[in-house]
Amino acid sequence: MSMDITTRAVRGIVIVAPHGDVDLTTSQLVRDAVDQVVDEGAAAVVLDLSDVGFMDSTALGALVSFHRRLGDRLVVAAAQPGVLRLFEITRFTSVLRLTDSVDTAVTALRS
């Protein structure tokens, strides 16, 4: 399965936005995209999930990896209700920094 991932910088923060489901077949693409922007010097990353309708356990593993690497320099933004529910069930809401929008995430990282 193919997946489109866009990246853009806003005031020095890199926004990584996967478009499509993040699962066994696509989670490595998301990992590679985040790793690449961090390796290229991104000080902070917003993972924009506004166009992700489904995530599985491999995607959750990727999020754990991002959190370990970036800590509070990672914010997850605009999670769809189904994905947000997964975060609630797995208690990721107490680990990840979550915001309603990319703009709010960028503001949180800038302060």
Q: Per-residue pLDDT for the chain (111 aa), expressed as one digit of tens each?
A: 578 999 999 878 999 999 999 999 999 999 999 999 999 999 999 999 999 999 999 999 999 999 999 999 999 999 999 999 999 999 999 999 999 999 999 999 998
Q: Rounded to whole angstroms, what are the CA distances from 69 to 3, 34, 63, 89? A: 23, 10, 10, 23
Q: Are 82 and 101 in contact (CB under 8 A)?
A: no
What is the domain partition of the chain in residue ranges?
4-110
pLDDT given for residue 12 in this prediction: 83
In CATH, the architecture of 4-110 is 2-Layer Sandwich (3.30)
Distance CA 58, CA 72 (A): 21
Q: pLDDT value at position 1?
A: 57
Phi/psi zone of residue 12: left (φ > 0), alpha (ψ -120 to 50 degrees), beta? left
pTM to 2 decimal places: 0.95
